[in-house]
Amino acid sequence: MKIYLILLSLICVNIRSFSQPGSGSMNINGNSLTGYGSPSGPTNVADDRRVFWIHGLGGDPLTTWNKAAAEYQSTHRIRNTFPAYTQTGLKGGAQNVLEIMNQTLKGTSPTKEPIAVCHSQGGVVARAVLYESEVVLKEQSPIRGIATFDSPHGGALIIDNIDNILQMVEEGCSKLIEGPVVEFVQSKFLLDLFVNAEDIARKVGGLACPVAEKALGIAFKELKSPIGKDYSHTNPSEYFSKLGHLTFPHISKVAFAGYEEEPVLFRQMFWLLNSPESVPAFTANEDHEFVDKFNTLTNTYYSKYKSKIARIEIYNNIACSLHPFCLIDKIIKTNKFRREANAYLNGYNWLTTLNQNWKVMIGAGEYRNTEIGECSCSQYTYDGNFVTEYFIDGICNSGFDECRSNSYPENFIYCDCKSLGHQIFYYDIEPSDAVVPVSSQYAFPGVEHKVKLDKSNHQQCRNDRNTKEALDNLFLGNYGLTFEAKRR
């Protein structure tokens, strides 16, 4: 059960309440919303730039960008506001943010053109703000530039796969429990005598895993919210689809995209459990702790499996001759260790495929049913005879060119790929930030700058070294003077 609780922590998304009390609160359509930030009353701050820092799905308006925003407000002529918005839909969220923007800017002295810096879903909400202001209300948008960090502009496949993720984790729970339970039961003579170890493992898993899955489902409820379903990858809302056709060329745009290194899942999950805002500004860099833990866990299961196989080989090598008790003991012991070996192997196989299965769930990888074959070549022998079949020890899945490309001798005049049937293979499709594939992060209509955040995941990108470099360049005006902010 301890192992499964670790998995719950690792797979679970970081859900935080976003309805915290603060200044400048308002009530829109029955939703209590707040715009947090520096005072918005009349000022003489012509050199200041108002920055709206917009949080993502289920995020907290204050803590999502807290470290980065505070750091830059202390060093640059910017004034921060952190809009909160409803999670009932993109349209409602955009209307909330638009209202907060207008209220914030109302009655203030002229400043540099306001911009929005957005994390994840916040980038999609900012695009919807443009739609609500300029298309629906036919007014000038209050913001003139949008910079998005790891936003699912092309949709989020993870939204469509919540049930599959829950099923994957429940399956893992059962497989990880199986090894320790089977080993424990079989180590107790009387217990092993009266019960079946595999049945006990299934019953333990049957009790623990659905309860844990239900808890995980509660944590995932934000991903099933109406606003999340709006930008579903496979079934987006009509409203989200409308946004995809609007470029707003007069609005400056930058898309920052996280390219996390492998294994992406475990690196991402470290910063789900250890919020990037829990460390000093721009230091959420190291993410190898859970990688090490999972490597240790995986090695433990493999070592257990190999040790059981070794014991089986020892008993198989015992020569019992005609001693009946020796034969019976040999059969009992080899069956015992084989059950334990299979149980640990199931857990090991689940662990070693977890990261790639996760990438399939988010759209960064896929499984393909691929036909494979063996190269079969023909040649003339030295005596001039034609040998019609000559099998080469090699796997292929296309044909002549692939077989010939394997540096076989030139006297093979014909090679073909003889089918051996079909097999399922995993393929990486594209990089990701461990939640959103890069192609979706860059699918910002009309975006002028696409910037890679190397080795940043979906959580880190708000407060790591790449965040600082990205915002430094943004406020220096390297992505357009619309984003420039003078230093204090």
pLDDT at res. 412: 57
Question: Above 80 in pLDDT, residue 139?
Answer: yes
pLDDT at res. 440: 98
Q: What is the pLDDT of residues 210-225, one digit of tens each?
A: 555 555 554 566 667 8
Average pLDDT rounded to a whole number, residues 295-320 = 92
What average pLDDT does the structure give for the chain?
Answer: 82
Question: Above 70 in pLDDT, residue 200?
Answer: no
pLDDT at res. 169: 84
pLDDT at res. 422: 80
Higher pLDDT, 384 or 56: 56
Average pLDDT rounded to a whole number, residues 43-58 = 84
pLDDT at res. 160: 93
pLDDT at res. 186: 77
Question: Above 80 in pLDDT, residue 125?
Answer: yes
Question: Above 60 in pLDDT, residue 196?
Answer: no
Higher pLDDT, 193 or 228: 228
User: Domain 14-156+230-284+432-483 sits in which CATH superfamily?
Assistant: Alpha/Beta hydrolase fold, catalytic domain (3.40.50.1820)
pLDDT at res. 310: 94
Neighbours of 100 (CB within 10 A): 30
pLDDT at res. 14: 32
Where residue 183 falls among pLDDT bands split at 50, 70, 90? confident
Question: Above 90 in pLDDT, residue 146?
Answer: yes
Where residue 456 falls among pLDDT bands split at 50, 70, 90? very high
Q: What is the pLDDT of residues 70-105, one digit of tens each?
A: 999 999 999 999 999 999 999 999 999 999 999 999
Where residue 1 falls among pLDDT bands split at 50, 70, 90? very low
In the chain, domain spans: 14-156+230-284+432-483, 365-428
Neighbours of 236 (CB within 10 A): 20
96-105, 186-195, 312-321, 440-449: segment of lowest average pLDDT = 186-195
Higher pLDDT, 52 or 41: 52
91-95, 176-180, 220-224, 301-305: segment of lowest average pLDDT = 220-224
pLDDT at res. 424: 87
Where residue 329 falls among pLDDT bands split at 50, 70, 90? confident
92-106, 204-218, 297-311, 326-340: segment of lowest average pLDDT = 204-218
Q: Which residue has the tokens 């833990």?
A: 293
Please tell me the pTM assigned to this model: 0.83
